Amino acid sequence: MLHYLKFFLFHAIGLTAITMFTLGNDWMTWGFLIIFLGYIALDAVLGDDITIPDFKHPGILTWQLWLALPLLSGIVFTFLWQVSSGDPLGYGALIQSVTGYDMVAARELNSGWNLFWGVVLCGLMIGMIGTITGHELTHRTWDKVSMLVGRWLLAFSFDSNFSIEHVYGHHRYVSTTEDPATAPRGRNVYAHVVMSTIRGNISAWNIEKERLQKKRQGLFSHHNIAIRGYLMSVVILALAFAMGGLTTLLFFIAAGAWGKSLLEIVNYMEHYGMVRNPNTPVQPRHSWNTNKRFSSWSMFNLTRHSHHHAQGEVPYHELKPYHDAPMMINGYLTTIVIALIPPLWHKLMIPKVLDWDARYASAEERVLATEANRKSGLKALQRIDYNEVLKAA
C-alpha cells in the first residue's frame, strides 16, 4: 500500500503548489522555497530507495500519471490568475465563497519578487508534473490515451514533439555524438539548453518527415504529428492570452520556457560526457543514475535512468535501482543546482567522468573518450589520452 502512496507524493507536491498560488503574494515565494529546499534536504537525509515492489494493480499507477494533466492545468491556471487583472473563471469568487479568503485583496500585495518566484515555481511544476509524466506516458506508444495525455503535458513546455525525438532519436543515439540531448564533455549547461532545444526540434521534424514520406502522406497535412504538437502549445498560449491578455501570455511563456530548460538541464545531467559506438547495444553504464529516495518517489523513478535506457520498454514501477551503475552527483534538484554553476559542475564531474572511463568504458569507448577529452576544452581532461597510454606500452 505504501508503495502506491509513495508515488502520490508527486500529487501532494502539485496540490501544495496550487494552494500556494491560490493564497498569493509571499505564499508563492514560500511555496517555491518549501518545495525546492524540501527536495534537497529530503534527498540528503532520506538516503536511497532500492526496493522493487511487485504492483498487483498497475492500473492505479497509470491513473496516477494521467492525473498530472488536471493537476498541471490547475497549477498553471492559479499562477496565471495571480498575474491577471480580473477574476478568470470566477475562481477568486469561488474561493471566497467557500473559504472566506479574499484572493483579490491578497493579489494586491504581490511584489515583484513574489511574481519572480511564482514564475520559477510554476516552471518547476511544468518540468516536474508535466515533463516527467509526459516522458513516462509518451514511452507507451501502444496506448492512445497515455500518448494523448502525455503530449498535452509536454505542450505546456512547448515540447509535445519530445514524444517523437525522445523515443526514436534519443533512445537510439543516447551517449553518442548523434544525440542532441547527450552533452559532450566540457559543454556548460546554458549552452546545452539552447543547443539541445534547437537540435531536438530539428531532429523531431526530420524523423516525422521521413515517416510521412514512407507512408506517402503530406508533410503539411493533419497527418504531421510534429505540426499537431506545435498547435497544442498554440492552444495553451491562446488560453493563457484569454485569461489576461499580453501579461498572462508573457508570464506563461516565461514559466514554460523555464520548464523546457529544466528538461534540458536534466538531459545534461543524465548523460553528460558519456560515449558509445551507436552500433553497440545501450547498457546501464550509458546513463548517470541516482537512487535518492525522495527524488525517486516524487519523480516516478526517472532517477533509475540506467535501467530505463538499457530497457526503454519497462514501465517506471518495474525499473531496477542498479546501485552499481555510474552515479549522478546527488538527487535531481540538488544536481540541477550544481549544474547551474559550471565551475562547480566540472570540478565534481571531471573525476566522475574519468572514473567512468576507467571502470565502466569498453576499450573502444576509451578511444571515443580520448576524442571527447580532446574536444572538451577542459585542461584536466585534455591531459588524458588513452591512445597515449596504449602507445606507451
Residues that bind another protein (CB under 8 A): 58-59, 62, 139, 141-143, 145, 167-169, 171-172, 207, 210-211, 214-215, 277, 279-285, 310-313, 324, 358-360, 362-364, 367, 387, 389-391, 393
Residue 44 or 145 having the CB closest to another protein: 145
Report d(CA 81, CA 94) in Å as an integer. 13
- Smallest gap from Cβ 83 to another protein, in A, equals 39
Q: Nearest CA to 370 among 346, 386, 389?
A: 386
Provide DSSP, 13-52: HHHHHHHHHHH-THHHHHHHHHHHHHHHHHHHHH-B----
Residue 59 or 100 having the CB closest to another protein: 59
Residue 150 or 284 having the CB closest to another protein: 284
**Contact, 139 vs 274, CB < 8 A?**
no
Report d(CA 134, CA 154) in Å as an integer. 6
Residue 3: exposed, middle, or buried by beta-carbon count in 10 A (0-12, 13-18, 19+)?
A: middle
Residue 102 or 364 having the CB closest to another protein: 364
- Smallest gap from Cβ 282 to another protein, in A, equals 6
Residue 44 or 358 having the CB closest to another protein: 358
Residue 97 or 142 having the CB closest to another protein: 142
Which residues contact residue 9 at a Cβ distance below 8 angstroms, ignoring those fewer than 6 apart?
A: 294, 297, 298
Residue 11 or 211 having the CB closest to another protein: 211
- Smallest gap from Cβ 112 to another protein, in A, equals 45
Q: Is 289 helix (H, G, I), strand (E, B) or coil?
A: strand
- Smallest gap from Cβ 171 to another protein, in A, equals 5
- Provide Rg for the chain, Cα atoms: 22
- Smallest gap from Cβ 116 to another protein, in A, equals 39
Can you read off the three cell numbers belonging to residue 254?
A: 516565461
- Smallest gap from Cβ 313 to another protein, in A, equals 5
Residue 51 or 280 having the CB closest to another protein: 280
- Smallest gap from Cβ 131 to another protein, in A, equals 18
**Contact, 152 vs 140, CB < 8 A?**
no
Report d(CA 159, CA 209) in Å as an integer. 17
**Contact, 265 vs 336, CB < 8 A?**
yes
Residue 144: exposed, middle, or buried by beta-carbon count in 10 A (0-12, 13-18, 19+)?
A: exposed
- Smallest gap from Cβ 8 to another protein, in A, equals 19
